[in-house]
Amino acid sequence: MEEKVMKKKRIFSGIQPSGELTLGSYMGAIKNWVDLQDAYECLYCIVDMHAITVRQDPATLRRRSVSQLAQYIACGLDPKKNIMFIQSHVPQHAELSWVLGCYTQFGELSRMTQFKAKSQQHADNITAGLFTYPVLMAADILLYQTDLVPVGEDQRQHVELCRDIAQRFNGLYSDTFTLPEAFIPKMGARVMSLGNPESKMSKSDPDGCVFLMDSPEDIMRKFKRAVTDCETAVKFDKVNKAGISNLLTIYCAATGKTMQQAEEEFAGQGYGVFKPAVGEAVVELLRPIRKESQRIMQDKAYLEGVYKEGADHARYLATKTLSKVYRKVGFVAK
């Protein structure tokens, strides 16, 4: 008797090309994606449609979208194992977003904490797109019958809304969408800003942020200037020593050492030795990624082939879901 082949669970995730990829993006997300690519069916998207909720320079957005794909591959994501594509190349994202918006309550969107935060950051540009961003995110996920969505805690609320929308639609029209679950990998390092260790490392804070494509000199400069405290002990204590705890987290993620091993290594040595050592560990971690990214960026034909093939595959999956949705809401078939 033949054994039944277990269907792999499907994962969807994406990062905006609204800035360069950061050390936080790599340690908190992309590094984990690499570890997931054999056990799951993975779709990794460059979400350029989400990026334009804030004004972008068109030429820069195009460059960053392609550069981000090159960096995904350089980080270890295999185009043969993952479906990697640019969001705007799959129009079904926008089409499903409109339908789902008609099944989402105004009150639900107004309660989204990220909308409130971004409205304060961009008070002069509070667009309808910023408000309905979570609906497009729900479309991204539901379009592919996604089982798991790797997210940080700050995005968990959006996944919960996505589930609510899916359940509402399924309740009206019978089972249409897989109900996704937020998936927070255990090993994802939460990397904080080097300038303000109370805040997450963000591309909007260049001085407190290390970018994957930073030169070794820039990386060392940023770590030497990283905020610490007035003590000298290299010890993990998130409450009283947030800066040092962040640097220890980064060092352990970069070297594979445990927190105890790191604390013992720098016992009695002080911050003047510790901070450059963290910088050097990050330089060596990112050196092959930067080099491979630069090499891949020179091969335009290869990159174009990857994102076109990825979009073709994604459109095939997306069309199956969208056709089902259109039929259930009563649209006339083409």
Delimit the domains of the chain by residue range: 10-189+300-329, 214-295
- Asked whether the beta carbons of 18 and 24 are under 8 A apart, the reply is no
* Confidence (pLDDT) at 76: 95
Q: Which fold has domain 10-189+300-329?
A: Rossmann fold (3.40.50)
* Confidence (pLDDT) at 333: 87
pTM for this one?
A: 0.88
* Residue 16 to residues 9, 13, 61, 137, 276, Cα–Cα distance (Å): 24, 10, 10, 12, 31
* Confidence (pLDDT) at 122: 66
* Confidence (pLDDT) at 2: 43
In the block, tokens 């919960």 appear at 160
Query: Closest Cα partner for 317 from 137, 59, 96?
Result: 96
Give the active site residue among 203, 235, 257, 324: 203
* Confidence (pLDDT) at 7: 82
Burial state string for 277-298 with b = 16 or more CB within 10 A and e = fewer than 16? bbbbbbbebbeebbebbeebbe
Among this protein's residues, is 203 annotated catalytic? yes
As given in the structure block, the two tokens for residue 204 are 């909007």
State how far Cα 172 lies from the chain centre: 32
* Confidence (pLDDT) at 190: 80
Burial state string for 210-234 with b = 16 or more CB within 10 A and e = fewer than 16? bbbbbeeeebbebbeebbbeeeebb
- Specify which residues 186 forms β-bridges with: none
* Confidence (pLDDT) at 198: 86
Q: Which segments of the chain have a pLDDT < 50?
A: 1-4
Q: How far apart are CA 298 and CA 301, in angstroms?
A: 9
Among this protein's residues, is 324 annotated catalytic? no
Q: How far apart are CA 143 and CA 50, in angstroms?
A: 16
Give the active site residue among 200, 222, 241, 275: 200
* Confidence (pLDDT) at 129: 85
* Confidence (pLDDT) at 306: 97
Q: What is the CATH number of domain 214-295?
A: 1.10.240.10
Give the active site residue among 118, 222, 241, 275: 118
Among this protein's residues, is 291 annotated catalytic? no
Q: How far apart are CA 320 and CA 252, in angstroms?
A: 43
